[in-house]
C-alpha cells in the first residue's frame, strides 16, 4: 500500500511499520532520546535504593548492609542487561537478520528500484541519488528510497546496535538486489 501526499510518502512494508519523515532534535551532541535514556537509568536506581533501605530497616542492619543489598540489586540488574544483550545478539544472528534482509529485498523488488550506476556506489549515495532524481524516477520509487533512509535513521536513533543491524540488513538487501558487478566501472 502506498499513500502519496504532497509533503511526504507513507508506505506499509509488511512489517507493520508506518514511517514518517521527521528531523532530529540534538542538544549538546546527544539526541533527546539518548538524554532521556540516561535520565531514566538514573531514576531507575531509586526503587533499588528504596528496596535496599527497606531490607536494611527490616533486617535491622547498618550502612554496610544497605550498600551491600543495593550492590546486589544493581548487580542483578546489570547481569540481566548483559544476558538480554547476548540473547538479542544470538537471536539476531540466527533468525532476525535473514528475515529483515528478505523484507528489505522484497521492498526493493516491489518498488522496482533502479540498479546502481557504479560498482562502488554505496547505499547512502544510492538512496540520495534516487530521492533527488526529480523526473528520472517515479514518485513511488522516490518514496521507497525515502522510506529506507528514514528506516535507517529511526533505527540509528534507537541505539548504536539497532541502527547498525538495520543498516547492515538494508545494505545486504541492496547488494543482493543491485548486484555489485553489474554497475559501470
Express each pLDDT in 35-63 by its tens digit: 666 666 778 788 888 999 999 998 888 88
Structural domain contains residue 12: no
pLDDT at position 14, please?
35
Task: Give the chain's mean pLDDT.
Answer: 77
CA quadruple 33, 151, 5, 103: dihedral sign: negative
Structural domain contains residue 6: no
**In this structure, how many other beta carbons lie within 10 angstroms of the beta carbon of residue 100?**
19
Domain that holds residue 159: 31-182
The number of folded domains in the chain is: 1
Structural domain contains residue 139: yes
pLDDT at position 66, please?
92
What's the whole-number mean pLDDT along residues 137-166?
A: 85
Structural domain contains residue 22: no
Report whether pLDDT(178) > 70. Answer: yes
What's the whole-number mean pLDDT along residues 81-106?
A: 91
What does the alpha-carbon distance between residue 184 and residue 175 come to, in Å, rounded to a whole number?
A: 15
pLDDT at position 12, please?
40
99 grid coordinates: 528475515
Structural domain contains residue 24: no
Non-local CB neighbours of 109 within 8 Å, separated by 6+ positions = 177
What does the alpha-carbon distance between residue 47 and residue 45 come to, in Å, rounded to a whole number?
A: 6
Alpha carbon distances (Å) from 153 to 76, 161, 178: 33, 13, 22
DSSP 2: E
The band of 70, judged by pLDDT with boundaries at 50, 70 and 90, is: very high
What's the whole-number mean pLDDT along residues 119-126?
A: 87
151 torsion bin: left (phi>0), alpha (psi -120 to 50), beta (else): alpha
Structural domain contains residue 8: no
pLDDT at position 38, please?
66
What's the whole-number mean pLDDT along residues 159-183?
A: 80
Report whether pLDDT(85) > 90. Answer: no
Structural domain contains residue 21: no
Structural domain contains residue 45: yes
pLDDT at position 64, please?
92
pLDDT at position 35, please?
63
Report whether pLDDT(22) > 90. Answer: no
Cα 22 versus chain centre, distance: 15
Amino acid at each position: 500500500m502506498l499513500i502519496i501526499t504532497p509533503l511526504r510518502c507513507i508506505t506499509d512494508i509488511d512489517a507493520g511499520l508506518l514511517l514518517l519523515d521527521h528531523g532530529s532534535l540534538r542538544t549538546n551532541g546527544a539526541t533527546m532520546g539518548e538524554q532521556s535514556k540516561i535520565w531514566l537509568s538514573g531514576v531507575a536506581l531509586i526503587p533499588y535504593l528504596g528496596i535496599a533501605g527497606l531490607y536494611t530497616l527490616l533486617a535491622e542492619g547498618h550502612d554496610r548492609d544497605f550498600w551491600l543489598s543495593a550492590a546486589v540489586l544493581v548487580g542483578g540488574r546489570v547481569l540481566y542487561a548483559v544476558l538480554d544483550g547476548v540473547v538479542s545478539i544470538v537471536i539476531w544472528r540466527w533468525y532476525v537478520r535473514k528475515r529483515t534482509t528478505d523484507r528489505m529485498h522484497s521492498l526493493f523488488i516491489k518498488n522496482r528500484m533502479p540498479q546502481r550506476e557504479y560498482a562502488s556506489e554505496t547505499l547512502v549515495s544510492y538512496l540520495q541519488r534516487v530521492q533527488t532524481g526529480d523526473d528520472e524516477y517515479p514518485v513511488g520509487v522516490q518514496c521507497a528510497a525515502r522510506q529506507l533512509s528514514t528506516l535507517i535513521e529511526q533505527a540509528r536513533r534507537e541505539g548504536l546496535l539497532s541502527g547498525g543491524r538495520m543498516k547492515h540488513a538494508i545494505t545486504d538487501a541492496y547488494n543482493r538486489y543491485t548486484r555489485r558487478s553489474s554497475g559501470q566501472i
